[in-house]
Structure 1
Amino acid sequence: MKFLDLFSGIGGFRLGMEQAGHECAGWVEWDKFARQSYQAIFEIKGEWNAHDIRSVRFDEVPRADCWCFGFPCQDISVAGKQQGITNGKRSSLFFTVTQLIRDTPKESRPSYLLIENVKNLLSINRGFDFLKLQIELDEIGYDLEWSVLDSAEVVPQHRERLFIIGHLRGRRTRKVFPICQNCEEASEANRPSTNTLTTRYSEAQGNGSYVVEGESNKVHQIGNISTSKSFGGNPQIGRVYGTDGLSPTLSTMQGGGREPKIAIPVLTPDRIKKRQNGRRFKTNGEPEFTLTGQDRHGILTNDLRIRKLTPRECWRLQGFPDWAFDRAKNTGVSDSQLYKQAGNSVTVPVIRAIAEQMEIEEANK
């Protein structure tokens, strides 16, 4: 099956789709640094591509069975101004894509749409924005199914995202959701109420498995180094996480010191016998007291320490193999951009799990 990679970023959609056996017909990305990484990662010679979706004409777009796009979430995310898909300057680009489909003759429209965005799209503006999205896609001929999937099923990062599948009426496309564990053994009575992914990502080059199971499948925050003045007063940026749980959801992490921070809480190294402000000491391995910028109690300064995730680790948390990171890094793109690119990407194994369920009957291809 051929697909278009719109708002492609560094190619998370593409890598997952290709791992499922599908073929890229073209891509669109406006950010020059993301384009730089994308072109280093993939064999793009001779492929159709464009810089700005707003300048693309329907008659220049190569025909494809599926259009993949995670349209900008800045106006939808709870971290943004929440202007929504109609009033938001960035998130309203959703309608730029649907206009391209409107302009495209029906026989040339994609059989599938694979759309990704933040979970808040379901509830922003009291749910009316999601209703507008459904109406828009219904008007251009698509029946929908959707699900919120957590990347923690396949990588050690808690990242809930909404995935929408559009099925063009008249084409015999395969239903995708639910993607669940042991579906063949589950009856309607005991079928899981939330979708869980069966795919378990393992890097072929030997980086190990990202399998996460059981009670450890949680984000474990052990403290916070934010003060009222640090990081602009944003407590989220100063959160410190233990190594015994999942990573928090990666964001674009723009600005200094915003990367996720990891610490291993241990017995206060330099005050073995004294209590601090009446609080008891932690034993080795217990959750740490709240951390501040001035007080490093509970952290071994000469060994184990607070540290931020490296760009490579952030790419791994999104399911990218090391060879892909190395190709992007070797172009000279900055660490700041590498962090941003990881935060903006989709999780590759999630896309692969979805893509493996997508199929069009041969007679309709």
Structure 2
Amino acid sequence: MKFLDLFAGIGGFRLGMERAGHECVGFCEIDSFARKSYKAIHDTEGEFEFHDITRVTDESIRGIGRVDVICGGFPCQAFSIAGKRAGFEDTRGTLFFEIARFASILRPRYLFLENVTGLLSHNGGDTFETIIGALDELGYDAEWQVFNSKNFGVPQNRERVFIIGHLRGAGGRAIFPFGGDGTAVDSEQSKINKVGNIRKMGKSQSGDVVSVDSLAPTLCSTTTQKDPLKVLIAGQLPGKFEMPNRVYDPNGIAQTIRTMQGGGLEPKIIQRGHGYNQGGEHEIAPTLTSNSYQENNHIKVYDFYNRTERDMIGTLTASGHQSNTRTGTFGVSDGFHIRKLTPRECWRLQGFPDWAFDRAQAVNSNSQLYKQAGNSVTINVIEAIAKKLK
């Protein structure tokens, strides 16, 4: 089927749709850096190309011709008058209105939309109700389901809601529900690995601490920004903010990739030792040298006297002054060191093949590549849904 890629980003929707056998006829993306990556990755010659969706005229939309599917991970803006139940009229002034406008002109068989799960509860549910009401007014019957990327072959805990709009009278079967890897939805409760509770009595669910390689318990009404779900992490770097300084074990599930990356905000993981020290921790530290830390030692030294961290122990002295270390006041942590996830790894967490990243890397900076990964959809999830569109 032919599809139009709105709010296209770097083309996560497109790759998933194309893998499922569908054909792209055009795209729309306002961010110039994202467009550079998109056009480097995809062959867009001869396709319709739009930038600011709010400036695309109705006449230009009609010029696209027939499309079977409109795709779009639209931004979730606040609906200023949501709740008045005015349907299509309530969406004016929001970017969802632009999808509705394209649909009202092109009349595709399907609308394939994606958003954060917060859309379901935004403004007490009025926003989502308004969206569904607008689709109904346009002649589309809607179904939706929340999917987590970790169930589709990528180690990232990323929940998103997907909406399929069916043009009334155009045929087509229901797409949802289904599980990851095409399996049936299992109603049996998965096991939750709770490792402790921070409350005095140890009974409040809001105090539960769960392992990072476990499923989180159901979020309840007491879960707030100030009192969020607690997870067991591998460590914590020093710094003002908690989340960007968390360190995750590489065997676990990655945190959700966000838009705000770069400047030290990238996810950090433990990197195990290799080279001379491959194999783990030691009771006695290997010889510390000035030139082999990165390749061999993988040891961090903490000088308790001077309260500094360094790659090697300073000259041992009796008094400990300046850059020296008093005997008995140092500690070492060997077997690993901490590093950031690379832009390539963040793209892999969204299901992008390395050849796609290589093309984007040739035209964009690392800060843009981090941002683009966080803004994208997970290709594997898109592909799984797209295979059911017939």
> Normalization by structure 2: what TM-score?
0.69
Out of 334, 338, 343, the residue aligned to residue 365 of structure 2 is 334
Q: Is the CA contact (8 Å cut-off) linking 1:151 and 1:157 kept in structure 2?
A: yes
* Unaligned runs of at least 5 residues, structure 2: 83-90, 191-211, 216-230, 273-279, 287-306, 311-330
Q: What is the number of residues matched between the two proteins?
A: 295
Out of 224, 234, 238, the residue aligned to residue 222 of structure 1 is 234
Corresponding position: 1:247 with 2:254: yes
Q: In the alignment, what sits opposite 2:374?
A: 343
Corresponding position: 1:319 with 2:331: no
The structure that is strand-richer by fraction is 2
Q: Secondary structure at the match of 1:14?
A: helix
Q: Secondary structure at the match of 1:246?
A: coil
Go from structure 1 to structure 2 and tell me whether the alpha carbon gap of 1:319 and 1:18 turns closer, same or farther (over 3 Å shift): same
Distance in 2, matches of 1:134 and 1:165, equals: 11
Deviation sequence 1:40-84 (CA, Å, 0-9, x none): 0011111101011001123323221000000114x4xxxxxxxx2
Deviation sequence 1:67-126 (CA, Å, 0-9, x none): 0000114x4xxxxxxxx2447999921112213333x1xxx4011001001011111111
Q: In the alignment, what sits opposite 2:100?
A: 98
- Deviation at 1:270? 7.9
Q: In the alignment, what sits opposite 1:81?
A: none
Q: Secondary structure at the match of 1:245?
A: coil
- Deviation at 1:180? 2.2
Corresponding position: 1:42 with 2:54: no
Q: In the alignment, what sits opposite 1:354?
A: 385
Q: Is the CA contact (8 Å cut-off) linking 1:269 and 1:298 kept in structure 2?
A: no
Corresponding position: 1:30 with 2:62: no
- Deviation at 1:192? 1.7
Corresponding position: 1:310 with 2:347: no
Q: Is the CA contact (8 Å cut-off) linking 1:86 and 1:129 kept in structure 2?
A: no
- Deviation at 1:139? 0.8
Q: Which has the higher contact order (CA 8 A, sep 6+)?
A: 1
Go from structure 1 to structure 2 and tell me whether the alpha carbon gap of 1:222 and 1:115 turns closer, same or farther (over 3 Å shift): same
Q: Secondary structure at the match of 2:347?
A: helix
Q: Secondary structure at the match of 1:15?
A: helix
Distance in 2, matches of 1:39 and 1:92, equals: 27
Deviation sequence 1:151-181 (CA, Å, 0-9, x none): 0012011100000000010101232111226
Q: In the alignment, what sits opposite 2:186?
A: 192
Q: Is the CA contact (8 Å cut-off) linking 1:16 and 1:348 kept in structure 2?
A: yes
Distance in 2, matches of 1:306 and 1:336, equals: 20
- Deviation at 1:263? 1.5
**Over aligned residues, Cα RMSD in angstroms?**
3.1
Q: In the alignment, what sits opposite 2:202?
A: none
Distance in 1, matches of 2:75 and 2:180, equals: 30
Q: Is the CA contact (8 Å cut-off) linking 2:181 and 2:384 kept in structure 1?
A: no
Deviation sequence 1:243-298 (CA, Å, 0-9, x none): 121111000124410000002587588889xxxxxxxxxxxxxxxxxxxx967978
**1:149 alignment partner AA:** F
Distance in 2, matches of 1:126 and 1:138, equals: 20
Q: Secondary structure at the match of 2:256?
A: coil
**1:111 alignment partner AA:** R
Go from structure 1 to structure 2 and tell me whether the alpha carbon gap of 1:21 and 1:131 turns closer, same or farther (over 3 Å shift): same
Go from structure 1 to structure 2 and tell me whether the alpha carbon gap of 1:51 and 1:182 turns closer, same or farther (over 3 Å shift): closer
Q: In the alignment, what sits opposite 2:126?
A: 128
Distance in 2, matches of 1:221 and 1:90, equals: 43
Q: Is the CA contact (8 Å cut-off) linking 2:236 and 2:245 kept in structure 1?
A: yes
Distance in 1, matches of 2:155 and 2:26, equals: 31
Distance in 2, matches of 1:168 and 1:269, equals: 67
Q: Secondary structure at the match of 1:5?
A: strand
Q: Indicate the percent of aligned positions where both proteins have the same amino acid.
A: 51
- Deviation at 1:31? 0.5
* Unaligned runs of at least 5 residues, structure 1: 76-83, 197-214, 273-292, 360-365
**1:95 alignment partner AA:** F
Q: Is the CA contact (8 Å cut-off) linking 1:71 and 1:91 kept in structure 2?
A: no
> Normalization by structure 1: what TM-score?
0.73
Out of 148, 153, 160, the residue aligned to residue 146 of structure 2 is 148
Q: In the alignment, what sits opposite 1:288?
A: none
